[in-house]
Amino acid sequence: MKTVIIGGNFAGLTAALELKRKGKNEHQVVLIDKSPVFLFIPSLIWVPFGRREVKDISFRKDELLRKKGVEFMNAEAILVDPKKKIVATSQGDVSYDQLVIATGPKVKYDVAPGVREYAHYIGTPNGAMKTRKALEDFKKDPGPIVIGATQNAGCMGAAYEFLFNTEKWLREQKIRKKVDLYWITPETFLGHFGIEGIKGGETMLKSFMKMFHIHYRTEVGIKEVFKDRVELTSGEVLPSKFTMLMPPFVGVDFVQNSPGLHATQNGYIPVTNDYRHVDYPDIWAAGIAVDVKLPFTPGKVPFSGPKTGYPSDETGKIVAENIHRISIGKTRLKEKAWGKIPGICVMDAGKKEVIILSDTLFKPRKFAVMIPNVFYDFSKILFEKYFLWKTRNGLSYLP
C-alpha cells in the first residue's frame, strides 16, 4: 500500500513516522512538503526577544525521514484529483492508495485593512525575526503597544504568551513606565481560549492584567490598523507604536484549489471521528487541516477554537493507526473526536507559566485545571527539549 502525506510538521511528520514504523516494508510512505525543515512552532514566541534562534528550534526532517525509510519529496502540492487518486505537485504527479492531508494553516492577513501592512505576526520564522528588529527599533523611541487577536482568530494562547513576554522584556529594557500596553481580543472573556475557558482562568488572567498594569478589551475586533494606531470594531481608537496581532487561519491553497475535496468555506477537510474524509474513504486529514465543529456560540465578535501542537500530534497518530489497520484487513478503526482529545498546554507568561490540563479539549469535562508557576517557565522549556529530542530521533510513538 502506498500512502502519500501532504505536509510535514506536527501532524504530517508524526503520521509518516508512525505509519512506516507500523507498516515496515509492507507500506510505502511518501511525504510531500515544500520545506525540508521541521519547526517547533510553539517556541517562536521567544525568537523576538532573543531567547531562541530559529536554528535552536528546527532541524532537517528530510534526513530523518530517509533514515526511517520514508520517501521525502521536496515539492509544493498544487491540487488533488480524488477520483483519479492523483496529487499534482511542482515536481510532477504522484499517485496514491491512501492520502493524508496535514497541510497546516494559511494566515488570513486580509481579515481587516492594514493588518498585513502594519501589524507584526510571530507565527513564522520570518515574522518572528522581523518582530525582533521592530522591537529593537521601538526601544529607541518607546510608546503605546497593542497586542492581541483579530476577529475569527483561534490562536489566542500564542498571543497571550507574546503579551506577557513583551511586558517582561519592557521591564528588562527599563522602558516599561514609558509604555501603555493594551491587550485586545474577540473572546467573550479573558481566558476563553476558544474552549469556553477553564474554572478560575478568567480570575487568574484578570489578576495578571492588574499586576502587570495591562489595559484589556474583550469582545472587540479590528476595523483597521494604521502605522500609529489601531481602530477597533467598538469604535475605540488605540494609539500604537508597535502592534502584534494573531489573524485567523484558513485552509491552504492546495485545499482551496481542489474542489473535489468538498472542503468547508474556510478550507478545512470534513472528516468523521476517525479522521477519514466524509466522502472519500481513502483520504484522511490530520492537524490544522481538520474541520472542527465548535460546541459553543461566540459572542458579538466571532472567533474560533484552538488548533495546537498536541491535538495535531495525536490526530497524526490516529490516522497512521487507522491506515495501518486497513492495510492488514481490519475494519474497526480508532475514533477520537478533536474535542475529546485531552487539553495539555503550557502557557508562557514572561519567564513564568500557567500549566493547563483537562481530560477533554471541549466541554463537558470531568476535570480541568490551570496551575500557575510564578517562579520560572521550566515546564515550557522541558516540553520543548523533550519534543525536539523525540522528533529528531524519530520516536513519534512516545507521548
pLDDT confidence tier of residue 271, bands split at 50, 70 and 90: very high
The Cα 267–Cα 263 span in angstroms is 5
pLDDT of residue 298: 85
The answer to whether residue 216 scores a pLDDT higher than 90 is: yes
Q: What is the CATH number of domain 2-48+59-107+250-339?
A: 3.50.50.60
| % the chain with pLDDT above 70 | 100
pLDDT of residue 91: 97
The answer to whether residue 308 scores a pLDDT higher than 90 is: no
Q: Is the peptide bond before 364 cis (omega within 30 degrees of 0)?
A: yes
Looking at the chain, which residues constitute the CATH 3.50.50.60 domain(s)? 2-48+59-107+250-339, 109-248
Cβ-based neighbours of 106, under 8 Å, separated by 6 or more: 249, 250, 251, 252, 253, 267
The answer to whether residue 231 scores a pLDDT higher than 90 is: yes
pLDDT of residue 342: 95
What pTM, to 2 d.p., does this model score? 0.96
The Cα 302–Cα 327 span in angstroms is 42
The Cα 190–Cα 212 span in angstroms is 15
When the pLDDT of each residue in the chain is averaged and rounded to a whole number, the result is 96
pLDDT of residue 348: 94
**φ, ψ dihedrals at 75, nearest 5°:** -155, 165
Q: What is the CATH number of domain 109-248?
A: 3.50.50.60
pLDDT of residue 351: 86
pLDDT of residue 311: 95
Q: Taking every pair of C-alpha atoms in the chain, what is the biggest distance, in angstroms? A: 66
The arithmetic mean of pLDDT across residues 179-208, rounded, is: 96
In which region does residue 256 sit, left (phi positive, over 0), alpha (psi from -120 to 50) or beta (all else)? alpha
The arithmetic mean of pLDDT across residues 265-272, rounded, is: 97
pLDDT of residue 334: 98
pLDDT of residue 153: 97
Say which amino acid occupies 33: D
| % the chain with pLDDT above 90 | 94
For 95-140, what is each residue's pLDDT tens digit? Answer: 999 999 999 899 999 999 999 999 999 999 999 999 999 999 999 9
pLDDT of residue 377: 86
For 16-54, what is each residue's pLDDT tens digit? Answer: 999 999 999 999 999 999 999 999 999 999 999 999 999
- 77's grid cell: 502540492
pLDDT of residue 374: 80
The arithmetic mean of pLDDT across residues 219-244, rounded, is: 98
pLDDT of residue 309: 87
